[in-house]
């Protein structure tokens, strides 16, 4: 009788200790996840066109708290805030950001904010006003 009772108690303890995955901030919940860089905008003869990415694609990952990482979990030159579909989101890390030896050392002179427009599983990221460098990403 003691063994089944002990097993049930142990099961409840293990379930109660299970760590919940963090919930994304509501303002960014639709962009959280991994995104593949597929094209960039280029001006050709006065018209803007999308140029596909050649070679190995790059990825960005929007963490649940808004921190932007590369596909290896390393920080990049991401801004401290960005606009998602016109709404400003301030990035406040809720956990440590990895600075492992796999992460490259970078000297960031980045943009203060990005503009991110989401259309279903596609993102258009605009960097550094007024140059308006645009990149297109699809959800992985």
pLDDT in tens, 51-80: 999 999 899 999 999 999 988 888 878 889
Q: How far apart are the first and last CA of the chain?
A: 51
Kindly report the pTM of this predicted structure: 0.80
C-alpha to C-alpha distance for 125 and 115, rounded to whole angstroms: 6
Asked if residue 1 has pLDDT above 70, the reply is no
φ, ψ dihedrals at 4, nearest 5°:
-65, -40
Question: Given the structure tokens 């200790």, which residue do they identify?
Answer: 17
Q: 81-137 pLDDT, tens per residue?
A: 999 999 999 999 999 887 776 777 777 777 889 999 999 999 999 987 667 789 999
131: left (phi over 0), alpha (psi -120 to 50) or beta: alpha
| CA 84 from centre of chain | 12
Judged against a pLDDT cut of 60, whether residue 5 lies above it is answered with no
What's the mean pLDDT in 32-47?
Answer: 95
Residue with tokens 């597929």: 38
């Amino acid at each position: 009788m003691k063994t089944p009772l002990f097993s049930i108690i142990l099961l409840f303890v293990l379930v109660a200790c299970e760590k919940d995955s963090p919930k994304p901030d509501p303002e960014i919940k639709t962009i959280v996840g991994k995104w593949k860089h597929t094209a960039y905008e280029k001006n050709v003869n006065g018209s803007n066109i999308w140029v596909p990415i050649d070679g190995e694609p790059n990825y960005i990952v929007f963490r649940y708290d808004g921190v932007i990482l590369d596909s290896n979990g390393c920080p990049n030159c991401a801004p401290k805030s960005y606009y998602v579909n016109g709404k400003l989101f301030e990035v406040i890390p809720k956990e440590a950001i990895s600075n492992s030896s796999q992460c490259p050392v970078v000297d960031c002179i980045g943009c203060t904010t990005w503009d991110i427009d989401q259309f279903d599983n596609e993102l258009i990221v605009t960097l550094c006003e007024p140059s308006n460098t645009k990149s297109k990403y699809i959800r992985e």
